[in-house]
Amino acid sequence: MSELLVTLVQAKLHWEDKNANLAMLEQEIQNIGQPTQLVVLPEMFSTGFSMQPEKLAEPMEGPTVQWMQSMAMKYKIILTGSLIIEEAGQYLNRLIWMLPNGTHGHYDKRHRFAFAGEDQHYSNGNKRLIASVNGWKINLQICYDLRFPVWARQQVTDQPEYDVLIYVANWPERRSHAWKSLLIARAIENQCYVIGVNRVGEDGKGISHSGDSMVVDPLGGVLFSKAQDACNHTLALNKAQLEEVRSKFPFWKDADPFQLLQNNPDA
Domain count, the chain: 1
Q: Within a domain: residue 260?
A: no
Q: In which domain, by residue range, is 219 found?
A: 3-254
Q: What are phi and psi of 18, to 5 degrees?
A: -60, -45
Is 179:215 a contact under the CB 8 Å cutoff?
no
Cα dihedral sign, 32-107-49-184: negative
pLDDT in tens, 120-154: 999 999 999 999 999 999 999 999 999 999 999 99
Q: Within a domain: residue 35?
A: yes
Q: Within a domain: residue 180?
A: yes
Cα dihedral sign, 182-238-166-234: positive
Q: Within a domain: residue 267?
A: no
Q: 27-31, 93-97, 192-196, 249-253: which range is least confident on average?
A: 249-253
Instruction: Supply the pLDDT for residue 187.
Output: 98
Q: Within a domain: residue 265?
A: no
pLDDT in tens, 218-243: 999 999 999 999 999 999 999 999 99
Residues with a catalytic annotation lie at: 43, 109, 143
Strands 38-40 and 78-87: parallel
Residue 200: give its domain's CATH number. 3.60.110.10
For the chain, the distance separating the N- and C-terminal CA atoms, rounded to the nearest angstrom, is: 40
How sure is the predictor about 257, in pLDDT bands with cuts at 50, 70 and 90?
Answer: confident
Q: Within a domain: residue 263?
A: no
Q: Within a domain: residue 144?
A: yes
Q: Within a domain: residue 196?
A: yes
Task: Give me the half-sphere count of Cα atoms (radius 13 Å) on the Cβ side of residue 66.
Answer: 6
What pTM value is reported for the model? 0.95
